Amino acid sequence: MYNIICKATAIAIIGTSSSINAFTPIAQTNIPITRAANTFQSLPSSNYHQHSTLLYGAADDDAQDNEIERLKRQAAKLRAEAASLEADKAKQLAEAAEKAFNKFDVNSDGEVSLSELKMGLEKELKTEISEKRVTELMKIFDTSGDGALQLDEFVTVDRFRNQLEALAREEKRLAAEAEQEKKRQEQEVLLAEAKLEFLNEKEPTMSDKALSVLPYLFPLMDGLQYGRFLLSSDDAGANPFVVILAVLYSLYRSIPFSGFVAFFALNILSGNPSINRLVRYNMQQAIYLDIALFFPSLLIGLGGLISSGAGLTVPPGVGEVFSDVMFGTLLLTLAYCAVSSFLGKEPDSIPLISQAVKDRMPSMDMLEGGTLDNEGRFIPKMPERREEDDKSDEDKK
């Protein structure tokens, strides 16, 4: 690089002197005109520009190298100063810790016990510190686990103070969380009690058990049509059970549209959550049993149409036997429901019907998301609102 610079400098000087000589009067020069012309011819302009560019580029590289070296030296100097400051600070902390250790070590046995730590901190901080808090401090700084602090484990009073403040903040945070958890559990208890009041699923009382049997009079009245052969026999009039059924049936039929009235009454009352679950369950099951009685009648009617269309004659005894079997099945089913209800147990063993009733019965799971009003009463969440909340939760996921 040095040779290139020298060469470029020499070329530049020659070029400059040649330019000056070119404009100097001939009388003042000792060089012939032909020699000056030859000098210009010996220095093409492209070579001149090339050597000038090399000169300036070399100067820029040297300036950048010098700046980098200066920055490196400055960075090294700053690191050395920072290391020196850290060392001085560590030395000061060590001296302060040693000074505090000597003050805390009352019996000069080379270690600070739990009682010495408590006494020293209370003296330095001018406040009373609980035994529990001092024990927590000891566990934090006692790295050897021997129940005392040696000089290499001891820290400054400011460090102890900061740790005590951190422990106090943590204790307040835990206390606040415990208080919030307590309030949440109390709210859950109140909500559960309000749910039980709203949706009566308590153990049925004797009055509840008695009331739960009454809905089955509805399918019994509508099912008496199947017992017309048994109830119209000669000795049926002497049976008190038949007499009671006749009286009830007369009262039932004396009400206009009694079947529709009973159906809608049971359907509305079964939707009242304040009524005991056993009563509501039997109301729903009585409705389903009454609906089930429609299908045998439908089969009898279809069978009569098919037989008459085919020119067949069904013996009278077949229809009578079928009706007696249906009425007997109905009586056995209602007897099972009544006995189970009197025992306080849901009659949930009727095939198909009992499962359909269970699916319609509201449960505690359906009341999730409800709230309490100002008077502590449960307010269930509307189904539409629950669907919107579920959809928003899915969108968030």
Is the model's pLDDT at 109 over the cut of 60?
yes
For the stretch 214-253, pLDDT in tens is: 999 999 999 998 888 888 776 766 778 888 888 888 898 8
**Banded model confidence at residue 13, pLDDT cuts 50, 70, 90:** very low
pLDDT confidence of residue 321: 86
Q: Between 351 and 51, whose confidence is greater?
A: 351
Q: What is the pTM of this model?
A: 0.52
Average pLDDT, the chain: 78
CB 277 within 8 A of CB 201: yes
pLDDT confidence of residue 8: 40
Q: How far apart are CA 208 and CA 390, in angstroms?
A: 37
Over residues 131-156, the mean pLDDT reads 88
- Taking alpha carbons only, the member of 273, 289, 299, 295 closest to residue 361 is 273
Q: How far apart are CA 313 and CA 304, in angstroms?
A: 9
Q: How far apart are CA 217 and CA 204, in angstroms?
A: 20
Helix, strand and coil in the chain, % to nearest 5 = 75, 0, 20
14-18, 147-151, 186-190, 248-252: the lowest-pLDDT one: 14-18
Q: Between 113 and 55, whose confidence is greater?
A: 113
For the stretch 194-218, pLDDT in tens is: 777 778 888 999 999 999 999 999 9
pLDDT confidence of residue 334: 95
Other Cβ atoms closer than 10 A to 117: 23
Is the model's pLDDT at 9 over the cut of 50?
no
Q: Between 57 and 273, whose confidence is greater?
A: 273
